[in-house]
Amino acid sequence: MAAMPLRLGYAFAAVMYLLLYHVFRYRRSTVRDNLSWAFPHKSEADRQQIERASYRHLCNLFVEILCSTRLRQADMADRMSFPNLDVLAAATDNFDKQAIVLLIHQGNWEWMLHAAMLKMGISVDPVYKTLHSPFWDQYMLAARSRFGASPMTIDRVGREVIRGRKRKRLIAMLADQAGPKAAGYWRDFLNRPASFYRGADKLAQTLNIPVVFAKCRRLETGRYEVLFEEISLPPHAADPELILERYVLAAEAAIAQQPETYLWTNRRWKKTPPESFLAQQQVKDTAAQADSPTTEHNL
């Protein structure tokens, strides 16, 4: 299947969409719940339109990732443009220093890695969580390593980055994955409490590594553009949570601009927040209510 032409692959994706969405109804309740929380002010019709478009994109993305094990690196680079590469070049002294690039599950993050390596001439080493399926875990590891990248498991990223701190490379992190309950950074993400891993902010502050956000937008089927946004440059602020806070705000803005290309099937919010976070939220809500003017005052 990976060897089939993309045109045929997209025809297969159209059939897969009909089966996945209409017949098997794959995670339909999860997607609808996620969209209702993320976009409470949109109409039901608008959310359903995003829902259907997100499944079409998911099926196309599956084909694109599958074909990435056989596609030439130049073919992926031709389908991925980088209009403001100067932002990343400035943060890394024209790619002479390493940087942390934070991503979200939007667009096609796999093609982005391969295309960036060719266009920038440096290694892009992704950080990943081991998949439950050994077959797919090895499949994705082989796909990401095709052109010389060195993928790192999330439990070893600290040691690997410190060991290779003098290398010229980009460290790519899909940082919107669910972090640990106790040690994670909790804040509202798309209107619901969510935990984030704290690795990126700690590494950036410890090693004085710049942090940049990469937004992947679909232009048309099989074609994307990547826009970079500065998150934090050395010397970083004393508050380590500022990096993650800026990342979450950038992620929410990117999702709002093109929600249909985000991975809504992900059960991102299944963890319940700790009592300490809920207590902090209650204090904030009480303070906000106390500060807001009453209806009588407004009149």
Residue 288: band (very low, low, confident or very high) from pLDDT cuts 50, 70, 90: low
Can you tell me the distance from the alpha carbon of 183 to that of 279, in angstroms, rounded to the nearest whole number?
17
User: Could you write out the DSSP letters of every residue in 39-98?
Assistant: -TTS-HHHHHHHHHHHHHHHHHHHHHHHHTTTS-HHHHHHTEE-TTHHHHHHHTTTTTS-
**CA distances to 6, 18, 66, 223 from 14, in Å:** 12, 7, 15, 17
Is pLDDT of 255 > 80?
yes
**CA distances to 53, 77, 274 from 19, in Å:** 14, 31, 39
Average pLDDT over residues 34-40: 97
Residue 225: band (very low, low, confident or very high) from pLDDT cuts 50, 70, 90: very high
Asked if residue 139 is part of any domain, the answer here is yes
Asked if residue 297 is part of any domain, the answer here is no
Closest by alpha carbon to 168, among 84, 92, 90? 92
Is pLDDT of 296 > 70?
no
Average pLDDT over residues 264-276: 90
Asked if residue 237 is part of any domain, the answer here is yes
Asked if residue 188 is part of any domain, the answer here is yes
Asked if residue 22 is part of any domain, the answer here is yes
Average pLDDT over residues 268-284: 84
In the prediction, which pLDDT does 107 show? 97
In the prediction, which pLDDT does 279 show? 80
Is pLDDT of 90 > 90?
yes
Average pLDDT over residues 148-155: 87
94: β partners:
none
pLDDT in tens, 110-124: 999 999 999 988 889
Asked if residue 55 is part of any domain, the answer here is yes
In the prediction, which pLDDT does 299 show? 36
Is pLDDT of 290 > 90?
no
Asked if residue 292 is part of any domain, the answer here is no
In the prediction, which pLDDT does 249 show? 97
The residue type found at 239 is: D
Average pLDDT over residues 13-18: 97
Asked if residue 293 is part of any domain, the answer here is no
Is pLDDT of 187 > 70?
yes
Indicate the average pLDDT of the chain.
90
In the prediction, which pLDDT does 292 show? 65
**CA distances to 65, 98, 138, 155, 201 from 110, in Å:** 7, 20, 15, 21, 23
Average pLDDT over residues 60-85: 94
What is the C-alpha end-to-end distance of the chain, expressed in Å? Answer: 66
Average pLDDT over residues 117-143: 89
pTM: 0.91
Is pLDDT of 148 > 90?
no
Can you tell me the distance from the alpha carbon of 108 to that of 102, in angstroms, rounded to the nearest whole number?
14
Residue 293: band (very low, low, confident or very high) from pLDDT cuts 50, 70, 90: low
Range of the domain at 136: 6-284
Q: How many independent structural domains does the chain possess? A: 1
Peptide bond into 235 cis (omega under 30): yes
